[in-house]
Chain A
Amino acid sequence: MKQRAVWSAVLVAALALAGCGSAGGTRSPSGGADGKLVVWDWKSGEASAAAYLQKAKADFARKHPGVTVEFVAQPFEQYYTLLGTAIQAGKGPDVILFNGGGQIRDRADALLPLDDYLAEDRQRLTGWEAFSKDGKTYAGPVTLQGHPIYYNRTLYEKAGLDPAKPATTWSTFVADCATITTRTGAKCFALGNKEGFGIQFFLSVLGSGVLTPQEYDDWIAGRRNWNSPHVKRIFALWKETQDAKLNSDGANSTAMFNDSFAIFQSAKAAHVIGLMSDVGHWKDFSEFLTAEKLGVMRAPVVEPGATPSLPYDGGIGYGVARWTKDPKVAADLVRSLTSTDALKSFYADAGAIAADTTIDVSQGGPAVTTIVADLKAGKPALHVALSSKTLDLMGRLSQQLLSGSVTVDEAVKQLAASDQAG
């Protein structure tokens, strides 16, 4: 009885307090001690980023000899949770590494617009769009992230296909896959959709083979017509690839990172929609398949009127927290972290496609040269334009589509509702 009284008192008090304060925390400037900048990332602990950071630090030290820089590497799985806590507290790192797209846009109100500070880099670097919200730029791009279709040239040769001429239409692509599967036993696509990422890559890659250029640009600009037959076609195509047994087995329980990539590397599947930077990219695959045997192709044309292009955006970039003491110094650190010299190291060591397009990649093999050549005609990825909430929902719906527990119409309807809700 007494206990119940205590608890009800607690709850009543809680309810009385309800609705004041904020879950997002206060935004008073409190971080960033004088003469020191703290950087949060998930990269600085990796050996492949060592030379990159060293060059960036040296560049920054030349400009601001009195300022020390501390890099704090956080575990990526916990990164945005930890960052959320720091944002709520209104203090923490001065310079923050972000993934482009939803992750930075959702947290833009904790960041400083950098347009004035980074104006000089505007031309040299590309991929700004992924770090912008409402016309303001919140980070300087370091790498580009995109989704080429990689293919195994050895499997093409074994199947009697010409590896120099991958299919350009969906019907020939499906026919080629059938040939590869009968002659080599390899599946068409290595697919890992346990995390629900498979659909994101699929949407962005095959999207350019389905949507007309106008529809594509409208999608990116936020005018997404979920009722259009072409949008539905993309999700129907996702289901078709499963029903036609083009995908590797057990896609819903296969992790994309890195089980599906392992399937591709071990030649159990002929194609994989991979990444350009970080992991699951040309450099990773080259180590297993050799650089010469790794091909990169654009999406086949699924619907007439579509012009396939390479989907890519800014991959990772450094932003500056609103609470930093001296925004100019912090922005200068961002400039050093995106300097040509530093990015050159990052490209060479980590295999990232750097945001600086002036870097020469001709030594990297045919796959990387194709990717960089495709950048010019490339467009922002379709999935990056969606909110994290819609992406989360899309991940679950994509699993239901694969298992057949939801129809394409129903899935698209739910996605439209989530997308339009914000």
Chain B
Amino acid sequence: MPVDEATPAVRPAPTGPARRAGSGSRATPRRGRGGRRSERLAPYVLLAPALLILLLLRFWPLLLGVNFSFTGDGERDGSAVGLANYLELARDPLFLGALRNVGLLVLLLPVAVAIPGLLATFIYLRVPGHRLYRSVYFFPAVLSPVIVGAIFNLLLAFDGPLNALLGGVGLGPVDWLGDPDVAMFVVVGVHVWATFGMALVVFLAGFATLDASLLDAARVDGASLPQTIRHVIVPSLSRTIQFVVVTTMIGMLTSMFGLLYVMTSGGPEGSTYLPEYYIWIQQGQLNRPALASAASTVLFLIMLVVGLLQISLLRRAVREA
């Protein structure tokens, strides 16, 4: 959580800009020089362990990665190549496809949020069997992506049960994981299936704070279900919805690798590449660590933008509360 800048936890050092702003008009309590120095240093000493850990384990590797992205691979290993890696990325249809897929994920986000939202609404409104559904919906959330991927590989195989079912009702088979126009949606669908249970629980928690009298009032006024959802439930749950949007977005952008790896390996025709998968292929399979660093830097910048947007969204949500 961001620290509120208006209330610093530590008194500002007297030599700082605050002092200058006051231009000496405010009387500072006189103490011995040693006491003042230790007081001045104390916050830095106390912050040092956390800062060092951040510097060493976060920023330093980050800097190295960015640095590597400006060097070459193979024969040009270690020599500066300027922006060559970035230009190569910009010209690589595979990487551009991976970025397009990130865009697709963002576009599919409302669906991924609406599904648990709707299902939670039904559970909240106590549709018959809601207790069973509550646990059934959550169940896939405890499975690892590799297991989920393997299960759906079997189900969605060309000669698998789903196509057999389609054949049974007279529809032709669909090459779920072999058709480039379909595969990405299938993988996203499976990801949503595997993870929506968590969002559902968050929604249910949000519903717990919902004012029941509002619902009763809506019912008395004769509101239909869609009207109740639109005018009562959605406004009351706006904070929960924002939170689910943020966490679902993070989930989609960072934890699809396992599914992609197991289900499509980036294929068919490279249509299910995401930047993470691209980085992994370049570094691990094609021995291009510098190019992979460049791709990582691009992914980092994207995540930075997304992250800052999310922070501002969350901040607004907190302020509204």
- List A residues at the B interface (Cβ < 8 Å): 2-3, 7, 10-11, 13-15, 17-24, 78, 80-81, 84, 88, 106-107, 109, 194-196, 249-254, 259, 388-389, 392, 395-396, 399-400, 403, 405
In the complex, the answer to whether A24 meets B280 with C-beta atoms within 8 Å is no
- List B residues at the A interface (Cβ < 8 Å): 5, 59, 62-64, 66-74, 77-82, 94, 156-159, 173, 175-180, 183, 264-265, 267-270, 280-281, 283-287, 289-290, 292-293, 304, 308
In the complex, the answer to whether B159 meets A10 with C-beta atoms within 8 Å is no
Q: A84 contacts which chain B residues (CB < 8 A)?
A: 283-284, 287, 289
Additional A-B contact list (5), CB under 8 Å, known A253-B179, A403-B268 = A17-B67, A22-B79, A253-B177, A254-B157, A388-B287
Contact flag A80-B78 (CB < 8 Å), given A196-B267, A253-B175, A399-B267:
no
Q: Shortest Cβ distance from B73 into chain A, in angstroms?
A: 7
Q: Shortest Cβ distance from A1 into chain B, in angstroms?
A: 9
Q: A21 contacts which chain B residues (CB < 8 A)?
A: 64, 67-68, 71, 78
In the complex, the answer to whether B268 meets A252 with C-beta atoms within 8 Å is yes
In the complex, the answer to whether B267 meets A252 with C-beta atoms within 8 Å is yes
Contact flag A250-B284 (CB < 8 Å), given A17-B67, A194-B178, A403-B180:
no
A3 to B311, CA, bound (A): 11
Q: B63 contacts which chain A residues (CB < 8 A)?
A: 10, 13-14, 17
In the complex, the answer to whether B283 meets A253 with C-beta atoms within 8 Å is no
In the complex, the answer to whether A19 meets B268 with C-beta atoms within 8 Å is no
In the complex, the answer to whether B289 meets A24 with C-beta atoms within 8 Å is yes
Q: Shortest Cβ distance from B265 into chain A, in angstroms?
A: 6
**Contact pick for B158, options A20, A254, A389, CB 8 Å:** A254
For residue B261, which residue of chain A has the nearest CB? A77
In the complex, the answer to whether A23 meets B158 with C-beta atoms within 8 Å is no
What are 20 A-to-B residue pairs whose CB atoms are below 8 Å? A10-B63, A14-B62, A14-B66, A19-B67, A20-B67, A21-B68, A22-B68, A24-B73, A81-B283, A84-B283, A84-B284, A194-B264, A252-B269, A253-B158, A253-B176, A388-B286, A396-B269, A399-B178, A399-B180, A405-B269
A399 to B62, CA, bound (A): 36
Q: A17 contacts which chain B residues (CB < 8 A)?
A: 63, 66-67
For residue A196, which residue of chain B has the nearest CB? B267
Q: A252 contacts which chain B residues (CB < 8 A)?
A: 175, 178-179, 267-269
Q: B304 contacts which chain A residues (CB < 8 A)?
A: 7
For residue B94, which residue of chain A has the nearest CB? A396
For residue A18, which residue of chain B has the nearest CB? B70
Contact flag A250-B267 (CB < 8 Å), given A80-B285, A403-B179:
no
Contact flag A18-B157 (CB < 8 Å), given A252-B175, A396-B270, A400-B269:
no
In the complex, the answer to whether B68 meets A194 with C-beta atoms within 8 Å is no
Contact flag A392-B285 (CB < 8 Å), given A18-B66, A22-B71:
yes
Q: B5 contacts which chain A residues (CB < 8 A)?
A: 2
